[in-house]
Homo-oligomer: A and B are copies of this chain.
Amino acid sequence: MVPQPQRVRRSSRQRDAVQESLAGTDAFVSAQDLYASMREQGNPIGLATVYRALQNMVEDDEVDVLRTDDGEAVYRRCSPSHHHHLVCRRCGRTVEVEGPDVESWASTVAAAHGFTAPDHVVEVFGTCADCTRAEAAQP
């Protein structure tokens, strides 16, 4: 495995703004959402710049990215170590969780079928406490 050359990154107002915006939430947000909210807050930025900043952060393992069922990419700042997510299907709030059991289960299953270099994606969806309450009040 190559240590990957890690391109030089210059800092800039826009890049910092994206990071800050991402730091301000616990939810997975799309590039479009970020773009819109940054503009609303009087923070001029180009859509392409948002995408490029996010791409860079993904490369640098500063954010997690996953695809929604309708194909949109959503991003979230994350801790650098391996982990999984518990995502509220209503409000998008996210909790990082660890699952040592899952890790071993995944590699066992892979090995049992002759698969090597196992990797896995585990996302748990649910309705968070607040939203469960909200749904009970107004279904």
* Chain A residues near B (Cβ < 8 Å): 67-69, 71-73, 86, 88-89, 95, 97, 99, 101-102, 105-106, 109-110, 113-129, 132
Contact = CB atoms under 8 A, between A and B. Distances in A.
Given A99-B109, A115-B129, A122-B122, 11 more contacts: A71-B72, A86-B110, A97-B113, A106-B124, A113-B129, A115-B132, A116-B132, A117-B126, A118-B125, A119-B125, A120-B125
A127 B102 contact: no
15 contacts: A67-B68, A71-B72, A86-B109, A86-B115, A89-B119, A110-B124, A113-B128, A115-B132, A116-B126, A118-B125, A118-B126, A120-B125, A121-B123, A121-B124, A122-B123
